[in-house]
């Protein structure tokens, strides 16, 4: 079996960029997408990392994603930004939001960006985190193709629909980031088991009849079990409202695959909310967060959510990214021999 | 054992109002509080219903809650409302928010109300629902005294911290309301088992050592198990940030009891976010929600979250409220003989 390949973060970025440019994506969009995929890979989120390059490239090549789209926006009310991702990749639209929303929030105290004509938005927490680095408390809601059934039902209607949240901490600390799918496990773990021909533990998925299954094929054909049973299914519905209905985008069960080049654009939606916590708390926020974090970290062995992600990020900065040979080969086939010179 | 007592909704309201007025609460505040408690009781949420009258009265009598507080507000930015509940009951402050926030959202598209110096806010979904009845998508975040540990910890730091959300449906339908505590079960269920001297099922609570327990006393002394394990604990932390840090209010582990008249005011916080979905979706919201709800209801036996609550409400309107004799006696002892004439 060929060995995994290690690249520096810069190399990995240039490699992914070259592959996307070769697949009919503009240089600017390829830069935005590659940056997000490398960041997810560095954060230990391989499912949103470089493994996506080949499927993104297939979609850009076939025109399912417009690799040359330039996101556009309007401001229909003082605290609202409506962003049209132009059926291109989601990341350039998020770049626009992360750039424009802080100015709006400085005026109004809270702001919302509704992104339509969008696509796979990757590591949800990373978008929130960038807003928190600018001093804002932020939520991101986005949907994904169907995988979870309404409680009591057998037909998948909702995506695994993450809830992502970030809040600034004291000077010099990375923001608190909470980013969780409302399914008990990520769908990628069932996909991996399916590819490897392995069974899955009970409690991950239900088959098409709504019965618990340990068969990965049956799980992929059926539905993902939500956290907290009825509660997780309700949270998936909440995210569906926030990501799709509030924006005017595809519902999970209408969206096409984010993996193949065939079919219509998935036309997903995302909503970003950002709040100025200094304004809402009249200056009390910083002390309140310090008190909260100190209480959490006072108990031995207890850490903030996201700590493992920050460790992975630091390790990747030191040691680079080690990616499976198969993923490297997929990207290399697109990027060509001369990508280092591109 | 004395029999339960049945009252019409109007009678129950007058009964609770009289008890609160007798316990040093202003008529206006007593009206607001009684309305909220009767509504929760009617919705089948007895833990936020008339069982609260005697503990509320004890707190108003002792001055732990200022029964005569008049909530006040400022608007530090166009989309922000800062509300001071004056260390009184939470419901009059929510009345103010539900009255004032829609006007703000009509101007700005999204608005946030931060309520400080507040108290037990009862049935969280009911506040969202009132905003959804005015055409808005709404969130309410509030904290509660400590009951959940950070993941990996044994000391409770977070409340059972509900996430509440509501969204308008088509003309003539009650809004979609999602209202869930991030613990697997409500703390009141352990309290009931404790009072009855019964064991609790495994999976509800951990003892002070962090071990699973079926002993109700040990569970009350320990912590509630969150939904989705680490995920629910992260959601409890998220709500803590939204309810306390964003407002400048007590953290769960700082808050005094919501049940006894002793000690300082709990000084809890709540945050309300309301969004105009017609503006954010440029008019697509209504059709998107109809499509989503139709897909959910297309499968036999599948209903929207909150359906049982609406049935309980309709039944209560027809048949009145039947309350335990002990709860009736507690309120009667406060309200006196002549409450029907008050």
ipTM: 0.96
Cα–Cα distance, A123 to A181 (Å, whole number): 11
Closest partner residue to A110 (CB to CB) among B79, B233, B276 is B79
A298 and A335, same domain (yes or no): no
B305-341 confidence digits (pLDDT tens)? 999 999 999 999 999 999 999 999 999 999 998 788 6
∠ CA B132-B133-B139 to the nearest 5 degrees?
A: 20
B139 and B168, same domain (yes or no): yes
Distance set, CA B172 to CA A76, A299, B133, B175, B237 (Å) = 28, 51, 10, 9, 37
Higher-pLDDT residue of B90, B210: B90
With respect to residue B223, please indicate whether it lies within any of the assigned structural domains: no
Closest partner residue to A108 (CB to CB) among B79, B248, B291 is B79
Angle, helices A27-42/A9-22, rounded to nearest 10 degrees: 140
pLDDT value, residue A186: 83
A108 and A4, same domain (yes or no): no
Is the pLDDT confidence value at B342 over 70?
no
Closest partner residue to B245 (CB to CB) among A107, A279, A288 is A288
A81 and A61, same domain (yes or no): no
B136 and B277, same domain (yes or no): yes
Q: Which of residues 4-63 of A touch B (CB under 8 A)?
A: none
Closest partner residue to A234 (CB to CB) among B178, B276, B279 is B178
A33 and A59, same domain (yes or no): yes
Q: What is the mean pLDDT of chain A?
A: 95
pLDDT band at A337 (very low <50, low <70, confident <90, very high): confident
With respect to residue A282, please indicate whether it lies within any of the assigned structural domains: yes
Structure-token pair, residue B30: 């007593």
Cβ atoms B176, B191 nearer than 8 A:
no
Helix (H) or strand (E) holding A318: helix A307-319
With respect to residue B212, please indicate whether it lies within any of the assigned structural domains: no
Angle, helices B90-108/B124-133, rounded to nearest 10 degrees: 40
A176 and A267, same domain (yes or no): yes
A82 and A107, same domain (yes or no): yes
B51 and B103, same domain (yes or no): no
Question: DSSP letters along B121-158, please?
Answer: ---HHHHHHHHHHTT-EEEEEE--SS-BPPTT--S--B
Is the Cβ pair B79, A289 closer than 8 Å? no
A63-110 confidence digits (pLDDT tens)? 999 999 999 999 999 999 999 999 999 999 999 999 999 999 999 999
Could you tell me which chain B residue has the CA closest to the CA of A165?
A: B238
With respect to residue B48, please indicate whether it lies within any of the assigned structural domains: yes
Residues of B in contact with A81 (CB under 8 A): none
Structure-token pair, residue B160: 């059972």
Cα–Cα distance, A14 to B23 (Å, whole number): 71
CATH of the domain at B321: 1.10.1530.10
Could you tell me which chain A residue has the CA closest to the CA of B288?
A: A245
Residues of B in contact with A302 (CB under 8 A): 150-153
Cβ atoms B239, B268 nearer than 8 A:
no
With respect to residue B188, please indicate whether it lies within any of the assigned structural domains: no
With respect to residue A155, please indicate whether it lies within any of the assigned structural domains: no
A136-157 confidence digits (pLDDT tens)? 999 999 998 899 999 999 999 9
CATH of the domain at B104: 3.30.1370.60
B53 and B133, same domain (yes or no): no
**Residue B230 in contact with partner chain A when CB distance is under 8 A:** yes
How far does A292 lie from chain B, in Å, by closest CA?
Answer: 7
- Number of domains observed in the structure of chain B: 2
Helix (H) or strand (E) holding A117: strand A110-118
Torsion of CA A251, A254, A259, A260, to 10 degrees: -150
pLDDT band at A263 (very low <50, low <70, confident <90, very high): confident
Q: What is the pTM of this model?
A: 0.97
Cβ atoms A155, A187 nearer than 8 A:
no
pLDDT value, residue B123: 95
Mean pLDDT within A11-39 = 97
pLDDT value, residue B340: 80
pLDDT value, residue A218: 94
Cβ atoms B235, A178 nearer than 8 A:
yes
A3 and A97, same domain (yes or no): no
Cα–Cα distance, B240 to A306 (Å, whole number): 17
Helix (H) or strand (E) holding A113: strand A110-118
Is the pLDDT confidence value at A62 over 70?
yes
Q: Which of A244, A271, A159 is nearest to B291 (CA)?
A: A244
With respect to residue A90, please indicate whether it lies within any of the assigned structural domains: yes
B17 and B82, same domain (yes or no): no
Could you tell me which chain B residue has the CA closest to the CA of A162?
A: B231
With respect to residue B90, please indicate whether it lies within any of the assigned structural domains: yes
Q: Which residues contact B199 (CB under 8 A, 6 or more apart)?
A: B193, B214, B215, B216
Is the pLDDT confidence value at A342 over 70?
no
Mutation for B interface: A231, A247, A284, most B CBs within 10 A: A231
Q: Which residues constitute the domain of residue B37?
A: 1-68+307-342
Is the Cβ pair B167, A78 closer than 8 Å? no
Q: Which of B146, B36, B169, B235 is nearest to A231 (CA)?
A: B235
């Amino acid at each position: 079996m060929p060995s995994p390949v290690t690249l520096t973060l810069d190399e990995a970025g240039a490699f992914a960029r070259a592959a996307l440019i070769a697949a009919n994506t503009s240089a600017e969009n390829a830069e935005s997408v590659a940056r997000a995929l490398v960041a997810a890979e560095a954060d230990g989120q391989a499912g949103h990392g470089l493994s996506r390059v080949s499927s993104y490239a297939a979609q850009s090549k076939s025109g399912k994603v417009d690799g040359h789209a330039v996101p556009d926006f309007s401001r229909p009310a003082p605290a609202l930004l409506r962003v049209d991702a132009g059926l291109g990749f989601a990341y350039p639209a998020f770049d626009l939001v992360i750039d424009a929303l802080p100015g709006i929030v400085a005026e109004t105290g809270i702001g919302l960006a509704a992104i339509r004509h969008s696509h796979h938005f990757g590591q949800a927490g990373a978008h929130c985190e960038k807003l928190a680095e600018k001093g804002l408390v932020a939520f991101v809601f986005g949907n994904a193709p169907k995988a979870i059934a309404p409680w009591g039902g057998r037909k998948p209607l909702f995506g695994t629909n993450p809830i992502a949240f970030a809040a600034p901490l004291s000077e010099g600390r990375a923001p608190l980031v909470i980013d969780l799918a409302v399914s008990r496990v990520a769908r990628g773990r069932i996909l991996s088991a399916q590819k490897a021909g392995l069974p899955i533990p009970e409690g991950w998925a239900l088959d098409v009849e709504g019965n618990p299954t340990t068969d990965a094929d049956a799980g992929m054909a059926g539905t993902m079990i939500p956290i907290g049973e009825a509660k997780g299914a309700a949270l998936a519905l909440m995210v569906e409202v926030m990501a799709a209905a509030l924006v005017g985008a595809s519902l999970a069960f209408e969206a096409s695959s984010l993996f193949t080049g065939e079919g219509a654009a998935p036309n997903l939606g995302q909503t970003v909310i950002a709040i100025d916590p200094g304004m809402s708390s009249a200056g009390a926020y910083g002390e309140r967060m310090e008190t909260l974090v100190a209480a959490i970290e006072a108990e031995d062995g207890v850490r903030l959510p996201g700590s493992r992600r920050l460790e992975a990020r630091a390790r990747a900065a030191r040691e680079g990214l080690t990616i499976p040979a198969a993923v490297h080969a997929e990207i290399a086939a697109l990027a060509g021999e001369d990508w280092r010179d591109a």
